[in-house]
Amino acid sequence: MRTPITAAVLEEPGDKLQLVELLLDEPTDHEVVVRTDRVGLCHSDLHYLNGALSIATPAVLGHEAVGTVEHVGSAVTRLKPGDRVVATVTPSCGLCNSCLRGRPTQCVRVDQLRRRERPKLLTHDNREVEVLGGVGAFAEAFLAGEASLAKVSDDLPLSVACLLGCCITTGVGAVVHGAKVTAEDTVAVIGCGGVGIAAVQGARLAGARRIVAIDAVADKLELARRFGATDTVLATDPTSTADRVIEILPDGVTHAIEAVGRPQTAELAFTILAPTGTATILGLMPAGAKLSLSADALVYGDRIVQGAYMGANRFLSDVDMFTDHYRTGRLDLDAMVTAELPFTAINDGFAAMADPTTIRIVLDFRPEHP
């Protein structure tokens, strides 16, 4: 028996999302049905929406979600109905070589974890609907594997709990797990959207001695200061932006975090590194994108360029870590949510992402029940 649910469906990139009724399958043995409470609008969703990143259509996007477990498959042991859960697009098996080496975001069995015989979602005329990242949370309810869900404490407000699914995990995780920033470090964060602001907060949390925020929009730099940036650089062309960073920190930075998703900003992250510094590249780039780096700077300077996909997270324990830092006021989640809208206003929400003072817009699925 499939359950009818209302979802925001992408039919063609560039189109607005359509709120339509879809049919949600029952959970398989290892899956959980989650009633969606709040979902954040992430730039990755926007990239799929406008076609900068591609996904099979029709599709249900949405991956930064918190919800309530409705029912669970027969083999689910860790979660039960009524639990509050946050979803991740990086489930992990715990048993493969990547997982055993402490890199669960590179789990080699993700496809196996997500595989199922029937489509999760069907339209009324029996078309299969793709779901983003094994989640697809722009819907009243979604199906996710147990491995894609972390239990989150009920004392964390719903409106900020969803941020732990992507924005905070990626930005803070990149600093803590990816770059492993310490009190000795000087950090530059390129791009001050949701993930960039989270990275600024991560650098503050890790005790970095200088935090240089870089963005092309002055309003975003003001925001970055509120979250812990000690210095700011208004980005213009790559050469003068790099020069400005070197004026502030003549040796260069020991860590640069790129949170834009363009080859030029990734190259800038490398250019501003001190010898032995590390550039951590977070932004999702168009398929086939390539970077051009100075071989001399790399080879003679022992510099490092690395990825930290989804903040190189350890999702289940990270959710608890972030919750503790939030409770003690070291991680400001409340100020990251700049607007809350009802789910039905999802297209207005995406339009509002163009406003430079937007950090995160969160959709509320039950605005009548605060």
Report the interface residues with Zn ion, using CB under 5 A: 42, 44, 92-93, 96, 99, 107, 109, 166
Q: Given the DSSP bridges, would you call strands 186-190 and 210-215 parallel, antiparallel or unpaired? A: parallel
Quick one: CA torsion of 242, 244, 245, 250, rounded to 10 degrees? 110
Beta carbon nearer to Zn ion, 30 or 244: 30
Label residue 312 left, alpha or beta by phi (over 0 means left) and psi (-120 to 50 means alpha).
Answer: left
Beta carbon nearer to Zn ion, 16 or 109: 109
* Closest distance to Zn ion from the beta carbon of 301 (Å): 32
* Closest distance to Zn ion from the beta carbon of 282 (Å): 10
Beta carbon nearer to Zn ion, 165 or 252: 165
Question: Chain centroid to CA 330: how far?
Answer: 20
Using CA atoms, how far apart are residues 39 and 158, in angstroms rounded to an integer? 9
φ and ψ at 188, to 5 degrees? -115, 135
φ and ψ at 248, to 5 degrees? -75, -45
Q: Please identify which residue in the block is written with the tokens 């009802």.
A: 342
List residues bridging with 82 in a β-sheet: none
Beta carbon nearer to Zn ion, 198 or 272: 198
Joined tokens for residue 44: 């990755």
* Closest distance to Zn ion from the beta carbon of 310 (Å): 8
H-state helical runs in the chain = 43-50, 97-100, 110-114, 158-161, 167-173, 194-205, 218-226, 238-248, 263-271, 295-301, 315-327, 346-352
* Closest distance to Zn ion from the beta carbon of 352 (Å): 17
* Closest distance to Zn ion from the beta carbon of 313 (Å): 12
* Closest distance to Zn ion from the beta carbon of 13 (Å): 17
Using CA atoms, how far apart are residues 365 and 370, in angstroms rounded to an integer? 10
* Closest distance to Zn ion from the beta carbon of 306 (Å): 19
Which residue, among 148, 61, 161, has the nearest Cα to 362 in the 3D structure?
161
Which residue, among 353, 286, 309, has the nearest Cα to 53 in the 3D structure?
286
* Closest distance to Zn ion from the beta carbon of 109 (Å): 5
Beta carbon nearer to Zn ion, 252 or 311: 311
- Give the number of other CB atoms < 10 A from CB of residue 147: 25
Beta carbon nearer to Zn ion, 39 or 223: 39
Specify the 3-state DSSP secondary structure of 197: helix
Beta carbon nearer to Zn ion, 19 or 93: 93
Contact 32/73 with Cβ under 8 angstroms?
yes
Joined tokens for residue 59: 């599709």
Give the dihedral sign, CA 205/208/213/219. Answer: positive
Beta carbon nearer to Zn ion, 94 or 207: 94
Beta carbon nearer to Zn ion, 196 or 277: 196
Beta carbon nearer to Zn ion, 92 or 201: 92
* Closest distance to Zn ion from the beta carbon of 211 (Å): 22
* Closest distance to Zn ion from the beta carbon of 141 (Å): 20
